[in-house]
Amino acid sequence: MSETTHDGTVAVTAAPSPDEGLTAAELAAKYGLSVSGARPSLVEYVRQLWGRRHFIVAFSQAKLTAQYSQAKLGQLWQVATPLLNAAVYFFIFGLILHASRGMTQDVYIPFLVTGVFVFTFTQSSVMSGVRAISGNLGLVRALHFPRASLPISFSLQQLQQLLFSMVVLFVVAIGFGSYPSLSWLLIVPVLALQFLFNTGLAMIMARAGAKTPDLAQLMPFVMRTWMYASGVMFSIPVMLEDKPQWIATVLQWNPAAIYMDLMRFALIDGYGSENLPDHVWAAAGGWAVLFAAGGFVYFWKAEERYGRG
């Protein structure tokens, strides 16, 4: 647009912009723009995760392979570590403190080994989850992908490690007189429910660890306390028979104890249903759904903040 001034010269002025006076938010809405790194909707987030399923599996396998790559025994440590822990616990709790009371050695030894292997699955998932974001900041900042891929991948890594170790667990059970039976089929739903629980808990800890990296230093103490309160080395009802009943009930209903007891019930012939709390399968499913769904939503809500600051 032009106009002639009083001295005869022509002045050119720009036409007013149709966007003049609009705020940044209004401009973004007008032209369909979105904030870089903004959190997608929950449904879209699930779709993105499904699209990265191959990455999640491959990443978990790579981490599992690299975990013991510098050790001469390699992945044999996946089995040796929990077995050595079980041997130490048997010496201290089984022989010295007589925590095996109420059970014969043929029951107590597979009882103890099963507890150590199953609790280690949860413990390792939690510890990996704490560092899932804070320990992979380079990857988080360099690439765009749903961040939940990391804690899910680490939980899958621990599941693969447990499956590898299950061969030894079967040998121990058979060696002490618990032979394969239909009850062994229960191992599949027990592991599936525990995996869901572990993954949800790992996502909760991943968000907490991303905000507070020092949490990784505190968690070993928390996990050790949880282990002693879950009956890894002893039968909770027998050990607490002289205490108020509600204490044993609370400890038996904690998720780590439930998944251990279900695995023991499936594997060990001398470990019957009388050792399980009431409605144990409902409790196992409830813990799994609660933590898997709740942990996923809790992690998703902070999706745009991971790797920043």
Q: Which residue has the higher pLDDT, 86 or 41?
A: 41
**CA 42, 48, 50, 55 torsion: positive or negative?**
negative
Mean pLDDT within 213-226: 92
pLDDT-wise least confident of 101-115, 151-165, 197-211, 212-226: 101-115
Residue 270 above 90 pLDDT? no
Q: Grade residue 293 by pLDDT with cuts at 50, 70 and 90.
A: very high
Q: What is the DSSP letter of 3?
A: E
The DSSP line for 204-250 is HHHHHHHH-TTHHHHHHHHHHHHHHHTTSSS-HHHHTTTS-HHHHHH
For 185-207, the pLDDT digits (tens) are: 999 999 999 999 999 999 999 99
Q: What is the pLDDT of residue 266?
A: 95
pLDDT, residue 37, reads 58
Between 89 and 20, residue with greater pLDDT: 89
pTM to 2 decimals? Answer: 0.85
pLDDT at position 94 is 74
* Confidence (pLDDT) at 101: 79
Which pLDDT belongs to residue 124?
94
Over the stretch 145-158, which tens digit does the pLDDT of each residue have? 899 999 999 999 99
Backbone angles phi, psi at 145, to 5 degrees: -160, 160
In percent, the amount of the chain with pLDDT more than 90 equals 52
How would residue 24 be classed by pLDDT, with cut points 50, 70 and 90?
Answer: low
Lowest mean pLDDT among 65-74, 158-167, 223-232, 274-283: 65-74
26 or 96, which is more confident? Answer: 96
Residue 29 confidence class, pLDDT cut points 50, 70, 90: low
Q: Taking CA 288 as the corner, what is the angle to CA 232 and CA 162, rounded to the nearest 5 degrees?
A: 50
Does residue 160 contact residue 56 with C-beta atoms inside 8 Å?
A: no
Least confident of 70-84, 224-238, 254-268: 70-84
User: Mean per-residue pLDDT for 56-79?
Assistant: 75
In this structure, are residues 86 and 176 in contact, taking their beta carbons and an 8 Å threshold? no
Question: How confident is the model over 105-119, as pLDDT tens digits?
Answer: 889 999 999 999 999
Residue 67: pLDDT above 80?
no
Q: Give the residue from 39, 212, 20, 191 showing the smallest Cα distance to 114.
A: 191
**pLDDT grade for 296, boundaries at 50, 70 and 90:** very high
